[in-house]
A and B are shown apart, each in its own frame.
Chain A
Amino acid sequence: MNFEEHAAKPLLAEAGVEVPPARLATTPEEAEAAAREIGPCVVKAQVPTGKRGRAGGIRLAADAAEARRHAGAILGIEIGGHRVERVLIEAQVPIARELYAAILNDPASKGPLLLFSTLGGMDVEEAAERDPNAMRRHPIRISEGLQNGDAETVAAAIGPEAAPALAKALMALYRAYRDLEAELLEINPLVVTGDGRIVALDCKLVVDDAAGARRPGLFEKGTPDRLTSLEARAQAAGLKYIELGGAVGILANGAGLTMTTMDAVSHFGGAPANFLEIGGEAYTKAQTALEILLANPNIRSLVVNFCGAFARTDVMAEGVVKAWKLLEPSIPVFFTIHGTGEDEAVALVRRELGFEPYDRMDDAVAAAVQAAGTAA
């Protein structure tokens, strides 16, 4: 789950990282009122994507009238495909230095990784590419957490004056990362102010979806992925469905096999209509899955590709048969079924639907691609 800046910063503040005073506004009038309270401010587009500054979504305002003008200009524009519907009115901070700090889950060390650079700001990625030493990588033992001594060592890079405050901020940052079960907590820039304080001017926060079950209150503050109505219906049913725009529908079990089926459709000259997998615990939801898939008006043929491991093909085939009888779709369908429960599943499809499953995936997919191309 993604958290936009306005939602993430209060969470940072709770963990003890200083953030500037700010208010959210949805109209130029609200922006003006907020700026009157806050004083000289920054008007910042709130969208779940980066590069806002370059897109003209972040502007300085000296007074309330200017904040109103900027909000008027920013609200409604598109940044990275997202329409700006809210701006954050945030107090300006006297910046002495821009730093970069992030903590993320690191597959290489299988633990938390602290990233720190003294070259914070808009060009940190380019700077790190030019000079790998510009980005310090500090793996953290999760059983012990970030240690004071380690934070102090990292913070020493900015000189003795501000180092203690930075070390304290890094400790607070780690606390936030752990408390929120973040996948990524990135502050760019983390600034040193003229009077030696450490303040987070931006925040990118991604919280582990798998932790949602034990953090319902937290997830209400996040920005869910934008979904089509069918994708939303699938999500509500506990299924992962992505519309892709092609004409060959795909129902398979497991992410690996589903992506492979998409690759095969594309290899034989077709275009997949969707990603939809019913592997893992979702193998009992074949009926709902097929109903959602068939509701997509672009579909002209369907591949059902089951290679059951944990996902029992007999149980999945039963769901498919139920949905097929209920909806009586007119599109051609091509089955290929192997693995756990194969004999029962094949017999069921033959008996109940009168279809003969293909022995090889390539043959089923090639036939479906051809049927989609020739269908009226």
Chain B
Amino acid sequence: MIVRRGHRVLVQGITGKQGTFWTAAMQSYGTTIVGGVNPTKAGTDHLGVPVFASARAAAEAAPFDVTVMFIPPLAAKAAAIDACEAGAGMVVCLTEHIPAHDVMEMHAAARANGTRIVGPNTAGLVTPGEAFVGIMPAFNRRVFQPGRIGVISRSGSLGTLVALILTQAGEGQSVFFGVGGDPMIGTTIRDALEILDADKRTEAVVICGEIGGTAEEDAAGYARGMSKPVAAFIAGRASPPGKKMGHAGAIVSGDGGSYASKRQALETAGVAVADLPSQLPGLLLSRIAQPGKRQAGN
């Protein structure tokens, strides 16, 4: 699922400092915000939309497709489960440092209710020129421009850099899909690839990966069968093994999840892997120009 202008968005934690700042940014960009949640301020208005006691209460009065959570770590589980039980199609969970046992319970609730969770620890989704949900600088036109490249990223900051580099090279983005930096995320890189593969506006895809976990290796299996060109950059080549580099997901132990393992899996699947993000536009453009030349497999 890609967030477009027509999607109705609920903001959980709308009245907080960050909720307020980013909701205003989303509204002025064109995102359709239909309401917010804060149990202590139910019945009031904030930024021109009604505030409800819960996502379930909002679902009655202000039906929504997507909810985005500006909720602190220890309260995130309850908010996500509330959203799932309210019938949210998609929950965008920005929160970092949610205890992992809570995250597993969130995923269980999502499965039980047919909800897609994006994140935790995602920077959100952007359709440049149309709408965004989350905490990305969609409104900065030096960074995001409408276009044909889909960007999938575990990290918001690296995703911002890659969007900037594409825009500097004259290539806009069809969508930015932040999957999140946590080890257990609801929508994996592979899931996002499938979504962008089916998206008519997307002609080529960039994966911004990171060391740790096996999400890039898993995605390679899907990329192999795609007709759209895929390029990737994997952060962490220069990181020492065994150190946790901030993202809980970015830790390497043994050979699994290493830079070498990811690069090999992707290259074997026909994905062009860049040494630096600045090489991504060149790698993609050569493949978009000559789609027939792309080799799937070895």
Contacts and interface: CB of A to CB of B under 8 A. Distances in A.
Interface stretch (B59-67, B205-213, B224-232): B205-213
Interface stretch (B5-13, B27-35, B196-204, B272-280): B272-280
Interface stretch (B36-44, B48-56, B137-145): B137-145
Nearest to A255: B246
Interface string A181-202: 1010000000000000000000
Interface string A278-292: 011100000000000
Given A105-B104, A240-B246, 20 more contacts: A105-B101, A110-B108, A112-B104, A142-B101, A142-B105, A181-B99, A210-B100, A211-B101, A254-B155, A254-B246, A255-B246, A256-B159, A257-B161, A259-B158, A259-B236, A263-B275, A267-B276, A309-B137, A309-B156, A339-B137
Given A105-B183, A308-B137, A260 B278 contact: no
Nearest to A340: B137
Nearest to A336: B161
A5 interface: no
B222 to A, nearest CB: 15
Interface residues of A, number: 54
A208 B99 contact: yes
Interface in A95-126: 105-107, 110-112
Q: 9 smallest A-B Cβ distances: which pairs?
A: A256-B155, A254-B157, A255-B246, A256-B158, A257-B157, A309-B156, A310-B135, A266-B238, A307-B160
Contacts of B92: none
Contact of B238 (A208, A255, A262, A340): A262
B262 interface: no
A309 B100 contact: no
Interface in B226-247: 233, 235-240, 243-247
30 contacts: A105-B100, A105-B183, A107-B184, A110-B184, A111-B108, A142-B105, A143-B105, A181-B101, A208-B100, A210-B98, A211-B99, A255-B250, A256-B154, A256-B156, A256-B181, A256-B235, A257-B157, A257-B158, A258-B246, A260-B277, A263-B275, A265-B238, A307-B161, A308-B157, A310-B156, A338-B137, A338-B164, A339-B143, A342-B137, A359-B168
B112 interface: yes
A183 B137 CA distance: 34
Contacts of A267: 275-276
Contacts of A143: 105, 108-109, 112
A21 to B, nearest CB: 31
Contacts of A88: none
A266 B237 contact: yes
B18 interface: yes
Nearest to B153: A256
A143 B181 CA distance: 24
A112 B100 CA distance: 10
A194 B135 CA distance: 60
B93 interface: no
B276 A308 contact: no
Contacts of B276: 263-264, 267, 362
B73 interface: yes
B245 A258 contact: yes
Given A107-B213, A143-B105, A259-B211, A311 B240 contact: no
A272 interface: yes
Contacts of A309: 123, 135-137, 156-157, 159-160
A111 B99 contact: no
Contacts of A361: 161, 277-278
B278 A360 contact: yes
Interface in A301-320: 307-311
A339 B100 contact: no
Chain B contact residues (Cβ within 8 angstroms of A): what range?
A: 35 or more
Interface string B238-260: 11100111111010000000000
A359 B164 CA distance: 10
A253 interface: yes
A129 to B, nearest CB: 12
Contacts of B140: 338-340, 342
Interface of A: 105-107, 110-112, 141-143, 178, 181, 183, 208, 210-211, 213-214, 240, 242, 244, 252-260, 262-267, 272, 275, 277, 279-281, 307-311, 338-340, 342, 359-362
A242 B137 contact: no
Nearest to A272: B238
B261 to A, nearest CB: 15
B98 A275 contact: no
Contacts of B181: 255-256
A263 B142 contact: no
Interface in B125-180: 135-137, 140, 142-143, 153-161, 164, 168
Contacts of A213: 73-74
B99 A210 contact: yes
Contacts of B98: 210
A283 B137 CA distance: 15
Nearest to A275: B245
A210 B76 CA distance: 12
Contacts of B123: 309-310
Contacts of B215: 107
B156 A263 contact: no
B83 interface: no
Contacts of A310: 18, 22, 94, 123, 135, 156
Which of A142, A214, A262, A309 lies at the interface centre, i.e. has the most chain B CB atoms within 10 A of its CB? A309
A141 B136 contact: no
A148 B18 CA distance: 45
